[in-house]
Amino acid sequence: MSEDQAFPRQQQDAPGTTDAMYPQPRDSMADYRGRGLLTGRKALITGGDSGIGRATAIGFAKEGADVAVAYLDEHEDARHTAEAVEAAGRRCVLIPGDLGQSKPCQTAVEQTVAELGGLDLLVNNVATQRPVSDLTEISDEEWASTFEVNVHSYFRVTKAALPHLSEGSCVINTASVNALRGNASLPAYAATKGAIVTFTYSLAQALAERGIRVNAVAPGPVWTPLIPSTLEPEKVEQFGRRVPLGRAAQPDELAPSYIFLASNELSSYYTGEVLSALGGEIASG
Residue 191 above 80 pLDDT? yes
Q: What local confidence, expressed as pLDDT, does residue 284 receive?
A: 61
- 14 confidence band (pLDDT: 50, 70, 90): confident
Sheet of 274-277, strand order: 92-96, 66-71, 42-46, 121-124, 170-174, 213-219, 274-277
Q: Please give the backbone phi and psi of residue 207, each rounded to the nearest 5 degrees, phi first.
A: -105, 0
The stretch 197-201 carries a mean pLDDT of 98
The stretch 95-106 carries a mean pLDDT of 98
The stretch 125-154 carries a mean pLDDT of 97
Q: How many CB atoms lie within 10 A of CB 134?
A: 9
Residue 5 above 60 pLDDT? no
pLDDT > 90: percent of the chain: 85
CB 243 within 8 A of CB 281: yes
Q: What local confidence, expressed as pLDDT, does residue 111 receive?
A: 98
Residue 231 above 70 pLDDT? yes
CB 205 within 8 A of CB 272: yes
Residue 66 above 50 pLDDT? yes
With a CB cutoff of 8 Å and minimum separation 6, the contacts of 231 are 11, 131, 239
Residue 2 above 60 pLDDT? no
The SS3 call for residue 152 is helix
Which domains are delineated in the chain?
42-277 (3.40.50.720)
Q: What local confidence, expressed as pLDDT, does residue 4 receive?
A: 47
Which has more confidence, 147 or 230? 147
Judge residue 2's burial from the number of C-beta atoms within 10 Å of its C-beta, 0-12 exposed, 13-18 middle, 19 or more buried: exposed
The stretch 192-201 carries a mean pLDDT of 98
pLDDT tens, position by position, 241-279: 989 999 999 999 999 999 999 999 999 999 999 999 999
Question: Peptide bond before 163: cis, by omega within 30 degrees of 0?
Answer: no
User: How close are the terminal C-alpha atoms of the chain, in Å?
Assistant: 34
pLDDT tens, position by position, 21-62: 989 899 999 999 999 999 999 999 999 999 999 999 999 999
Query: CA 280, CA 193: separation in Å to the nearest integer?
Result: 20
Residues annotated as catalytic (active site), given as ranges = 189
Q: What is the mean pLDDT of the chain?
A: 94
Which amino acid is located at 275 in the chain? L
pLDDT tens, position by position, 107-120: 999 999 999 999 99
